[in-house]
Structure 1
Amino acid sequence: MTARFAIAALTPGHDRAGFACGVEPLDRYFREQASQDMRRRVAACYVAVEIATGRIAGYYTLAAGGIPLVEVPASLAKRLPRYSAVPVARLGRLAVHLDYRGQKLGAALLWDAMTRAIRSEVAVFALVVDAKDDHAAAFYRHHGFVAFGSLPHQWVLPLTHRMFGEPGF
């Protein structure tokens, strides 16, 4: 089976103008801010491009971060050294174009983010996300994230080198 999408870092050659996921802040960020964040090295942005058409079907951003150890769920914290903060990869945004919904592309983007975080030469314990709403929270919960911290919709997924099998496109 041939892959339908290729996931790679956002470049100036990618056409972002027509991207529409239905959530205006995510659309606006992608069109107007993503490349600036990359230049400033505050976030990396990756896009899923439909191979046949060259259209951007989805994107996500990753950045380095830390979370206070006291906010890590006790079941996870017991395996960690007693530092004040735990290094994490922060999934800042994840969006799928309206035309590509229902094709498990969000799961594939999430898998790619986890894989990049695990393979990074910068050590991180987990992937962390602040879900934008209840729908997003349900997506992350479905993919194994657990709630943490004092704020609503904060989710964490410990990363290991033995993660489950890759999703198909």
Structure 2
Amino acid sequence: MEGAFRVEALAPHHDRASFASGVEPLDRYFRTQAGQDARKNVAAPFVLVLPDGAIAGYYTLSATGIGLSELPAQTTRKLPRYPLLPATLLGRLAVDLRYRGRGYGRLLLADALLRSLRSEIASFAVIVDAKDDGARRFYERESFLPFPDQPKRLFRPMADIAGLFDR
């Protein structure tokens, strides 16, 4: 990873027009919907800005819930029997094709996990819905666990994430 970069909330001055991850729904969302979602508090988009101002990648966070019955039995053993547990949804994560292979995907994921952990809102886990098997493998390598009946839906408990950041 070269130079000084920053991850910041998406703002009107960020140039989204040239972003191309190679995944059309992720690109279309970023170019046309992300700003509106941010303004309406539907999702919180964050961008990885390189020293030259280019956007190397982005992700979104929002609140969601997990049905207790959706989780693996070994995960629910010590949890309260609420029908719905609070969680954080990592809704989208994409890296521009020009910047692939530089570790930016992992950097964006780490930033998303840290922001989720620092939130003052209760959240049992971070959830992702992998778009394809390659994305699923990426999240599994980062210690996300699949939901029993939904192999492309994965989660990582907040207690596990806290261990990453010594909290």
TM range (shorter): over 0.9
| Distance in 2, Cα, partners of 1:133 & 1:92 | 14
Are the counterparts in 1 of residues 60 and 91 from structure 2 also a CA contact under 8 Å?
A: yes
- Which string of whole-angstrom CA distances, capped at 9 and with x for unpartnered residues, describes residues 29-48 of structure 1? 00000011111111000000
Letter of the 2:26 partner, please give it: L
Q: Could you tell me which residue of structure 2 aligns to residue 155 of structure 1?
A: 154
Return the alpha-carbon distance in structure 2 between the equivalents of residues 74 and 7 of structure 1: 36
**In structure 2, distance between residues paired with 1:156 and 1:3:** 32
2:88 is matched by which residue type in structure 1?
A
Residue identity opposite 1:97 in structure 2: D
CA distance in 2, matches of 1:99, 1:8: 20
Per the alignment, residue 34 of structure 1 pairs with: 34
For 1:73, the equivalent position in structure 2 comes to: 72
Distance in 2, Cα, partners of 1:13 & 1:37: 16
CA shift at 1:6, angstroms? 0.4
Residues in 2 aligned to 1:149 and 1:64: alpha-carbon distance in whole angstroms: 21
Instruction: Give the length in aligned residue pairs.
Output: 165
Bigger shift: residues 157-166 or 34-43: 157-166
Q: CA separation in 2, counterparts of 1:94 and 1:34?
A: 12
Q: Counterparts of 1:121 and 1:86 in 2: how far apart (Å)?
A: 16
Match of 2:138 in 1: 139
Structure 1 position 3, deviation (Å): 5.3
Gaps of 5+ in 2: none
TM-score normalised to structure 2 length: 0.93
Gaps of 5+ in 1: none
How far residue 5 of structure 1 moved from its aligned partner, in angstroms, is 1.9
Deviations 1:97-148 (A, max 9, x none): 0111011111111111111111101110100011000000000000000100
Q: Give yes or no for contact 2:47–2:56 (8 Å, CA) kept in 1.
A: yes
State the distance in 2 between where 1:2 and 1:131 align: 28
The 8 Å contact of residues 88 and 123 in structure 2, kept in 1 or not, is answered as yes
- Mapped partners of 2:3, 2:66: distance in 1: 36
CA RMSD of superposed structures (Å): 1.8
- Structure 1 stretches of 4+ with a deviation exceeding 3 A read 1-4
Please name the residue that 1:98 is paired with.
97
1:5 is aligned to 5
* Partner secondary structure for residue 79 of structure 2: coil
Describe the shift of the 1:92–1:162 C-alpha distance in structure 2 as closer, same or farther (beyond 3 A): closer
In the alignment, what sits opposite 1:21? 21
Q: How does 1:51-130 map to 2 (within 5 A)?
A: 51=51, 53-130=52-129
Identity, % of aligned pairs?
52
- Alpha-carbon offset, residue 151 of structure 1: 2.9
Take 1:151 and 1:73, find their aligned partners in 2: how far apart are those partners?
A: 11
